[in-house]
Structure 1
């Protein structure tokens, strides 16, 4: 059964769209580099739900093969970057 690792972000004021795009590219690029990482989605809230976001601007949903892969993911150099 896969593991869903979810992380929410509050971006600093002044972050540019280009920086968000670069972060998305780097995050999605970890798939295939990190053992056990099946898929990674990155994005902001839907406009219809943004008001309930409690200040969070972005989120990541990483799908991993098993619980032990979360530690591998967290310690991997690609994730540390």
Structure 2
């Protein structure tokens, strides 16, 4: 199994309300993906409640293989969901590992 974890930092220029709106929309869209992308074994989006920390969003997902992660990354439903962050994202970090 492969764990795919992605952290997102939103732009500081966004208001608290704008950030919350983008974060909530992203969470709903990403967590709906297993209905469309069957290779997703598990997916969850956590929204940071600690403003002292750098990252605003944590996406945690599980797949059978790294090839499944790569297929998920380019799947049109994922691309559309990820597009919610396009204008709001300042930074991104990712790791994929076997567990």
Could you tell me whether the CA contact under 8 Å between 2:48 and 2:56 is conserved in 1?
Answer: yes
TM-score, L = length of structure 1: 0.79
Counterpart for residue 27 of structure 1: 30
Please list every run of 5 or more consecutive structure 2 residues that lacks an aligned counterpart in the other structure: 81-99
Q: Deviations over 1:2-49 (max 9, x none)?
A: 2100000001232342222111010001112113111111012364xx
Counterpart for residue 75 of structure 1: 74
With a CA cutoff of 8 Å and minimum separation of 6, indicate the structure with the bigger relative contact order.
2
After the TM superposition, list the runs of 4 or more consecutive aligned residues in structure 1 that deviate by more than 6 angstroms.
none
Aligned residues: 76
Could you say which structure has the higher strand fraction? 2
Q: Deviations over 1:41-69 (max 9, x none)?
A: 1012364xx64x3x111110011121210
TM-score, L = length of structure 2: 0.66
Root-mean-square deviation (CA), in Å?
Answer: 1.8
